[in-house]
Amino acid sequence: MPGQERFPRNERLTHRKQFLYVYRTGTKQVGRGFVLYVARGQEQGRKMGCAVSRKVGNAVVRNRVKRFIREVYRKHRARFPRDTYFVLVARPASARLTYQECETEIRCLFQKGDLVGG
């Protein structure tokens, strides 16, 4: 059904204070191309944010990395707990990864951060 795989605004971290809350109180998992911060107990639903700095590359590269992150989230969000905030921060190595490599690495970070099982 169309619309089931969207990334609605109510599932996005949109304010700086939300990002800072996750950075301060969350746990951190580090991978080759990404860093995952996870904070639980918000009772406001599941929310995801991504941060891609200019160190990753030019605008075209940064937008591609953000699209990859959002697509991986859309594919796996049904398995995430409802009371979770998390932020994926792209590192410069993420610019050289294909979509499949990004998905594999992000899924490994999700598993290390106890967001999803197996």
Domain residue extents for the chain = 10-112
- Rounded Cα distance, 86 and 72, in Å: 13
Note the pLDDT of residue 7.
Answer: 74
Of 41-45, 77-81, 88-92, which has the strongest mean pLDDT? Answer: 88-92
Residue 64 has pLDDT above 90, yes or no: yes
- Which class in CATH covers the domain with range 10-112? alpha beta
Residue 117 has pLDDT above 70, yes or no: no
pLDDT in tens, 4-62: 666 778 888 989 999 999 999 989 999 999 999 999 876 678 889 999 999 999 999 99
Evaluate whether 56 touches 117 at the Cβ level (below 8 Å): no
